[in-house]
Amino acid sequence: MNVDNINQAVAQLLPAWQIHARLDGLASQCRPTSRTEGYQIQRALFEATGEPALGWKIAATSLAGQQHIGVSGPLAGRLSASRCLADNSELSLERNDMSVIEAEFAFLIGRDVGRALTSATGSKDAPLTMGHVMDCVSGLHVAIEVPNSRYVDFVAAGEAQLIADFACACYVVLGPRAPEQWRQTDLSQHEVSVRRGHETVATGTGANVLGDPRIALTWLANELLSQGHQLKAGEIVMTGTCVVPVPVSAGDTMTADFGSFGQVRARFKA
């Protein structure tokens, strides 16, 4: 896309991001038609917010989620530090038509994730391996995502427009850091549940996140490098929901329980 088209898209998305408004879609002359164009707009949009970065999220990490919004695979989206809330924070669902929460693993990046020289070829062209990416991780948190879209019909928006709009990013409620034993745990089999009040309303495992949250993180690291980005030290990565997204309403108190890793709670204003 040319700079004028990107700026036109940003001019439409930025106010919607700032005031939680909704768009029917981007105007035809600045509507992205590929993932790369979507990421070009996303980068410019985040710069236009002037906000410090929290990190990244991965959307559509399950086949059902991909089919629901009509995308070919996972999507990467920027997260803003201003929308990262502490455990047990109170949030508003005003102007959030998605009105769901997702229980997610959140990796803390300890050092920049760049390409490593391959011993066989001496080149940096090979995709990053999971081992290389996980060596750059310094910790794991439990978290809740409260997504939102700036599109009236996000199901029909298409992956390029969804990427441009931060892949439905909005709020993150960041819970406690997991004990270091998480490194010896098979995250694909780790059980997660969500309670509304005292009632369990959803269960799942890390396998719902591209088969394993570590696989999802590796996918993101490679996706970003392919688009001229890079995971940076200090960033948080939300790897995708371990449970089917849970509908929430005003007045609900929701707890995501990661067992021995800890719990995280979000309260929604009545």
Higher pLDDT, 125 or 229: 229
Q: Per residue in 56-99, pLDDT tens?
A: 999 999 888 888 898 989 999 999 999 999 999 999 999 999 99
Confidence of residue 117 (pLDDT cuts 50, 70, 90): low
* Domains assigned to the chain: 52-268 (3.90.850.10)
Distance (Å, whole) CA 173 – CA 134: 23
pLDDT of residue 63: 83
Please give the backbone phi and psi of residue 136, each rounded to the nearest 5 degrees, phi first: -95, 0
Q: Nearest 10 degrees: CA dihedral of 146, 151, 155, 160?
A: -100
Confidence of residue 119 (pLDDT cuts 50, 70, 90): very low
Confidence of residue 115 (pLDDT cuts 50, 70, 90): confident
Beta bridge partners of 25: none
pLDDT of residue 124: 64
The answer to whether the CB of 145 falls within 8 A of the CB of 77 is: no
SS3 18: helix
Confidence of residue 123 (pLDDT cuts 50, 70, 90): low
What are the DSSP calls for 237-248, one per residue?
EEEEESSPPEE-
